[in-house]
Structure 1
Amino acid sequence: MPARGTAEWKGDLRSGAGTFTAGDSISGDYSFKSRFEDGPGANPEQLIAAAHASCFSMALSNALASAGTPVDSVQTRAVVTLRPVDGVPTITAIALTVVGVVPGLDDAGFKEAAEGAKKGCPVSRALAGVPEITLDASLAS
C-alpha cells in the first residue's frame, strides 16, 4: 500500500508559507520561521522524526514479540538535527531514545533488540545517508 503526502508552498522562501497533508488526516502549516527559526507551525524534520519514531517502535515491538517477549509498551522519541553543511541545510543527526516495558526481558536483551530494530526498520534504512543516528535504549524502571 503506497503512502501518500502532499505539500504546497506559496511565495518566496522567507515570507512564503506552505501546507502539507500526510495520508488522509494529518495536515499542517509550515514556514521559514517554523523550519529555521523555531517559529510556530510544523516542519519537514518533525515529520521525519515522527515517522522514524513510529517505524522504530513498531519494528522493535515486532522483533520482541517474535522472540517471545511481547511488549506492554515501547515509547520512542526521535530528535532530528538540521545544520548547515557547506552552506546547505542538511540533516546531520538523529537521536533515538526508547523506553520499553517488556515483562521477562532484561536490559541487555532490550538493548540488543533495539539495535536490531534501528538497523532494520524501513525508515532507518531510508535515512541511512544521515551521518549519525544514535540510540539510547532502556527499560522503564
Structure 2
Amino acid sequence: MTTRTATARYVGFGKDGKGALTTQSGVLSDQFYGFNTRFADEPGTNPEELIAAAHAGCFTMALSFALAKAGYGEGTLETKAAVKLEQKDGGFAITRSDLTLEASVPGIDADRFAELAEEAKKGCPVSKLMNAEVTLAYKLN
C-alpha cells in the first residue's frame, strides 16, 4: 500500500481568499491557488488542473505497462486530459475527463492497441476514482 499526501492552506475566505498547495514530494511547494486561478486566468494552479495532470499521468503509465506486458518495448505515448468543472445541483461538479492520446508503438495492430488503451482507461486508479464520464480519443502513428 502506498499513501501520498498534499496540504492545502487558505487564508481569508471566498473570492478574497488566497491558497497554497504543497505536496509530500516537494514538487509543489506553497503553489498559489485561489478563485481567479480556478475560474479566471490568473497565474497559479487549481484542483481541476492537478486532477487532469494526475489522470493523464496515471492513464499513460497504465497503458505503458500494458504495452510492455503485451511484448512491446519501444514507442511514445503523450496524453492530454481535459477535466470539466460545471455548475450542477446548486454547486459544482467535475462532470468529465476527456483523454486525448497520441501514440507511436512500432508493430502494434490497431485493434490490439485500441483494446489495451481502453483497458488502461478503465483500469487506471485515477479513472476508478472519478465519479465522472471518462472518454478516450487517440491517434496511433
TM-score range relative to shorter protein:
over 0.9
- TM superposition score normalised by structure 2: 0.92
Residue of structure 1 equivalent to 2:136? 135
Q: Name the structure 1 match of 2:17.
A: 16
Cα distance in 1 for residues equivalent to 2:92 and 2:10:
18
Give 1:57 shift.
0.5
What is the rounded CA distance, in whole Å, between the counterparts of 2:73 and 2:124 in structure 1?
18
Structure 2 residue 71 is matched with structure 1 residue 35: no
Task: Report whether the alignment pairs 1:118 with 2:94.
Answer: no
Residue 118 to residue 125, structure 1, CA distance change in 2 (3 Å): same
Deviates more, 1:106-115 or 1:89-98: 106-115
Name the counterpart of 1:26.
Answer: 27
1:96 equivalent to 2:99? Answer yes
User: Is this contact kept in 2: 1:110–1:138, CA < 8 A?
Assistant: no
- Give the aligned residue type for 2:70: A
Gaps of 5+ in 1: none
Percent identical: 46
In structure 1, distance between residues paired with 2:73 and 2:36: 42
Q: Give a deviation string over 1:3-26, Cα, whole Å, max 9, x none.
A: 111110110110111000123222
The alignment covers a number of residue pairs equal to 138
Alpha-carbon spacing, 1:96–1:116, altered in 2? closer, same or farther (3 Å) = same
Q: Please give the secondary structure, in 2, of the residue aligned with 1:26.
A: coil
C-alpha deviation, 1:100, in angstroms:
1.2
Distance 2:101 2:39 in 1: 27
Whole-angstrom distance in 1 between the partners of 2:123 and 2:89: 30
Residue 91 (structure 1) shift: 0.4
Give the aligned partner of residue 75 of structure 1. Answer: 78
8 Å Cα contact 1:71-1:100 kept in structure 2: no
Runs of 4+ residues deviating >3 angstroms: none
CA RMSD of aligned residues (A): 1.2
Matched, 1:66 2:69: yes
Structure 2: 5+ residue runs without aligned partners?
Answer: none
CA distance in 2, matches of 1:112, 1:137: 12
Say which SS state the counterpart of residue 14 (structure 1) adopts: helix
Report the alpha carbon displacement of residue 40 of structure 1 after superposing the two structures with TM.
1.8
1:98 Cα offset (Å): 0.9
